[in-house]
């Protein structure tokens, strides 16, 4: 089937999931020239097969709150493509999730995981459960109920979930405990993001944020520039944002602002990451408490972080959090580089406004791939029953991020637009998956 026939079918099939459809459209635009140049890709229906998720699971998750009330949430797992290895991708617990979002994120994950150069297929899942405000006992009961269904569909060689929004060390612990009980064996390779004490990898917690900054360093290096003295704004204050801020600081940049669901935090002396860590990781509260320790800082309720002038903007909170007005404001304030730490945080028109103004742009599937890459390293350690040092894993992460940057740039050059890392990431990610799909046949 030719590209226009394929897209007509895709538009009909996914008309009820507009976010996923938009994501397909943007990726396919980069891939059509590659497919057109290879008769084998067309004759083997590689693109058509790649656009169809291999399995979509949706299930009931009933659980009882501390006050005795019964709640029913919905669980999801989209297992999109496993040509390169076991399905791999995070679990998100957030009230706003739906199938449309998980389809988009799982598709994105296929190309991202391919870019890491590791043997990882792509998946994503989670639930509309909100862990915030729930007791540890409630989160544990929810996780057990969620895993009661999910354990049938995962495993070290099948599908290996990890954390994402709302799923951190506590949730991964309860999910792994539930899995261990339900399958009756200790199988560390079935989940990543584990604590190093019971089978996790050093650097996994930091990996997405650190990897993002390593990627930004490569982008700057390619322009003969570096991070020292740069002023950055990072949105969010979760797992990705915290460790992006930490690495920015370590490499000599200053973080002017970050944010959470309640508003934006601006500190004229630079954000003190240790305080943010305490508030978010230990006390699990909002950023407003930061002002007690740093009275010169301001917490702007209901605002996002993009009004703060900066050279580097790193969206690290959630999807669609940087729109076209934010992009124009960033441009007016002199932003030079935007790199996505979150998945799909910039809207399509925001990306056009940024790139149209000459701002260097890195898509999440390349820039935030350090998290899943380190999950891949965690799986390797689990399989070999080894535990590598922090320094060893960090060095591998740096090499992987430099490799992803180089392959995106090379693919962008081959596509005729050397600075377009979006096209580069789509093409480089696709080429590896397509190679595997050709080799494995129409199965
Ligand atoms: P966390 O739950 O740890 O942090 C999310 C942050 O985003 C929090 O500060 C949260 O605010 C904020 N946030 C959530 N929803 C909204 C919203 N609707 N508007 C504004 N802010 C919001 O998640 P992660 O840091 O793990 O993930 C962040 C992003 O990075 C996601 O897009 C995720 O898919 C992506 N990602 C994560 C990876 C990982 O390894 N964890 C790997 C690759 C990508 P509050 O503090 O108030 O809750």
pLDDT one-digit tens code per residue, 150-167:
999 999 999 999 999 999
Residue appearing with tokens 């996780």 = 143
Q: What distance in angstroms lies between residue 236's CA and the mean position of ligand 1's atoms? A: 6
The pLDDT of 295-304, averaged and rounded, is 97
Where does a domain end: 340, 358, 376?
358
Say yes or no: 47 and 108 in one domain.
Answer: yes
pLDDT (tens digit per residue) in 32-59: 999 999 999 999 999 999 999 999 999 9
Question: Does any domain span residue 433?
Answer: no
Say yes or no: 275 and 352 in one domain.
Answer: yes
Say yes or no: 164 and 218 in one domain.
Answer: no
Please give the Cα distance from 107 to 92 (Å, whole number).
15
Question: Does any domain span residue 255?
Answer: yes
Q: Which of 145, 14, 163 is nearest to 94 (CA)?
A: 163
Tell me the best of 90, 91, 96, 165 to mutate to test the pocket of ligand 1, counting ligand atoms within 8 Å of each CB and taking the most: 165
Please give the Cα distance from 172 to 156 (Å, whole number).
15
Q: What distance in angstroms lies between residue 438's CA and the mean position of ligand 1's atoms? A: 36
pLDDT for the residue 43: 94
The pLDDT of 318-341, averaged and rounded, is 98
Ligand 1 atom nearest the C-alpha of 167 is 2
The pLDDT of 318-338, averaged and rounded, is 98
The pLDDT of 234-252, averaged and rounded, is 98
Q: Residue 40 sits in which domain range?
A: 3-187
pLDDT for the residue 4: 80
Question: Does any domain span residue 345?
Answer: yes
| Res 217 pLDDT > 90 | yes
Say yes or no: 176 and 212 in one domain.
Answer: no
| Res 259 pLDDT > 90 | yes
164 lines ligand 1 (CB under 6 A): yes
265 lines ligand 1 (CB under 6 A): no
Question: Does any domain span residue 389?
Answer: no
Please give the Cα distance from 245 to 317 (Å, whole number).
13
Question: Does any domain span residue 410?
Answer: no
DSSP codes joined into one string, 342-404? SSS-B-HHHHHHHHHTT-EEE-HHHHTTHHHHHHHHHHHHHHHT----HHHHHHHHHHHHHHH
The pLDDT of 311-323, averaged and rounded, is 98
Q: Is residue 247 among the annotated active site residues?
A: no
The pLDDT of 384-393, averaged and rounded, is 98
Question: Does any domain span residue 109?
Answer: yes
Say yes or no: 165 and 212 in one domain.
Answer: no
| Res 114 pLDDT > 80 | yes
The pLDDT of 236-259, averaged and rounded, is 98
What residues contact residue 421 under an 8 Å CB cut-off, 6+ apart?
219, 360, 361, 362, 363, 366, 408, 409, 412
**Tally of domains in the chain:** 2
pLDDT for the residue 3: 79
pLDDT for the residue 175: 98
Ligand 1 atom nearest the C-alpha of 92 is 34
Q: Take atom 28 of ligand 1 and give the residue whose Cα is closest.
A: 317
Q: The CATH number of the domain where 73 resides is what?
A: 3.40.50.10860
Structure tokens at 235: 């949105």
| Res 5 pLDDT > 90 | no
Q: What distance in angstroms lies between residue 322's CA and the mean position of ligand 1's atoms? A: 14
Say yes or no: 170 and 212 in one domain.
Answer: no
The pLDDT of 318-342, averaged and rounded, is 98
Say yes or no: 252 and 283 in one domain.
Answer: yes
Say yes or no: 182 and 213 in one domain.
Answer: no
Q: Take atom 8 of ligand 1 and give the residue whose Cα is closest.
A: 238
| Res 368 pLDDT > 80 | yes
Structure tokens at 181: 């009980």
Say yes or no: 219 and 89 in one domain.
Answer: no
Q: Take atom 21 of ligand 1 and give the residue whose Cα is closest.
A: 261
| Res 1 pLDDT > 80 | no
pLDDT for the residue 319: 95
166 lines ligand 1 (CB under 6 A): yes
| Res 20 pLDDT > 80 | yes
Where does a domain end: 358, 386, 413?
358
238 lines ligand 1 (CB under 6 A): yes
315 lines ligand 1 (CB under 6 A): no
The pLDDT of 295-324, averaged and rounded, is 98
Question: Does any domain span residue 88?
Answer: yes
429 lines ligand 1 (CB under 6 A): no
Where does a domain end: 358, 390, 411?
358
pLDDT for the residue 2: 78
Q: What is the pTM of this model?
A: 0.97
Residue appearing with tokens 């405000």 = 133
pLDDT for the residue 195: 98
Q: Which of 45, 44, 12, 10 is nearest to 27 (CA)?
A: 10
Structure tokens at 107: 């598709």
Q: The CATH number of the domain where 242 resides is what?
A: 3.40.50.720
Classify residue 197 by burial, with Cβ atoms within 10 Å: 0-12, 13-18, 19+.
Answer: exposed
pLDDT for the residue 72: 98
Say yes or no: 68 and 134 in one domain.
Answer: yes
Say yes or no: 117 and 243 in one domain.
Answer: no
Q: What distance in angstroms lies between residue 278's CA and the mean position of ligand 1's atoms? A: 17
Long-range pairs of 405-414 with CB within 8 A, sequence gap ≥ 24 = 405/215, 405/218, 405/219, 405/222, 405/366, 406/218, 407/115, 407/117, 408/115, 408/366, 409/222
Residue 215: pLDDT band (50, 70, 90) is very high
Residue 172: pLDDT band (50, 70, 90) is very high
Say yes or no: 251 and 347 in one domain.
Answer: yes
Question: Does any domain span residue 429?
Answer: no
Ligand 1 atom nearest the C-alpha of 372 is 42
Please give the Cα distance from 74 to 93 (Å, whole number).
10
Residue of 124, 180, 194, 239 marked catalytic: 124
pLDDT (tens digit per residue) in 413-438: 999 998 999 999 999 999 999 999 99
Q: What distance in angstroms lies between residue 280's CA and the mean position of ligand 1's atoms? A: 12
Q: Take atom 27 of ligand 1 and give the residue whose Cα is closest.
A: 165
């Amino acid at each position: 089937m030719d590209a226009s026939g394929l897209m007509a079918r895709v538009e009909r099939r996914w008309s009820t999931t507009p976010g996923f459809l938009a994501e397909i459209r943007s990726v396919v635009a980069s891939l059509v020239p590659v497919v057109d140049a290879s008769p084998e890709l067309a004759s083997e229906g590689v693109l058509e097969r790649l656009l169809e998720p291999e399995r979509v699971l949706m299930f009931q998750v009933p659980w009882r709150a501390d006050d005795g009330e019964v709640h029913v949430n919905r669980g999801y797992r989209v297992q999109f493509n496993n040509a390169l290895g076991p399905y791999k991708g995070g679990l998100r617990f957030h009230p706003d999730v739906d199938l449309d979002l998980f389809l988009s994120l799982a598709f994105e994950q296929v190309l991202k995981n391919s870019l890491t150069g590791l043997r990882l297929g792509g998946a994503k899942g989670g639930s509309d459960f909100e862990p915030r405000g729930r007791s540890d006992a409630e989160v544990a009961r929810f996780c057990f109920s969620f895993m009661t269904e999910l354990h049938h569909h995962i495993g070290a060689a099948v599908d290996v979930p990890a954390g994402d929004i709302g799923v951190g060390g506590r949730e991964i612990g309860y999910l792994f405990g539930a899995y261990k009980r339900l399958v009756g064996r200790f199988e560390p390779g079935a989940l990543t993001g584990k604590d190093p004490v019971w089978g996790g990898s050093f650097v996994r917690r930091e990996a997405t944020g650190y990897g993002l900054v390593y990627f930004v360093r490569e982008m700057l290096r390619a322009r003969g520039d570096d991070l020292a003295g740069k002023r950055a704004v990072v949105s969010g204050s979760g797992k990705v944002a915290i460790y992006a801020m930490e690495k920015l600081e370590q490499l000599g940049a200053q973080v002017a602002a970050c944010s959470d669901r309640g508003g934006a935090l601006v500190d004229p002396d630079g954000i003190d990451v240790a305080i943010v860590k305490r508030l978010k990781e230990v006390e699990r509260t909002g950023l407003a408490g930061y002002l007690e320790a740093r009275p010169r800082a301001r917490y702007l309720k209901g605002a996002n972080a993009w009004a703060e002038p900066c050279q580097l903007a790193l969206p690290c909170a959630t999807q669609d959090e940087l729109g076209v007005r934010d992009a124009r404001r960033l441009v007016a304030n002199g932003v030079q580089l935007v790199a996505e730490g979150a998945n799909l945080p910039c809207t399509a028109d925001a990306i056009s406004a940024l790139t149209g103004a000459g701002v260097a742009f890195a898509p999440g599937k390349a820039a935030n791939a350090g998290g899943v890459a380190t999950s891949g390293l965690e799986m390797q350690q689990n399989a070999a029953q080894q535990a590598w040092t922090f320094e060893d894993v960090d060095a591998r992460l740096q090499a992987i991020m430099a490799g992803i940057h180089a392959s995106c740039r090379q693919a962008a050059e081959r596509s005729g637009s050397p600075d377009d890392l979006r096209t580069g990431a789509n093409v480089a990610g696709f080429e590896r998956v397509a190679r595997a799909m050709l080799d494995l046949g129409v199965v």
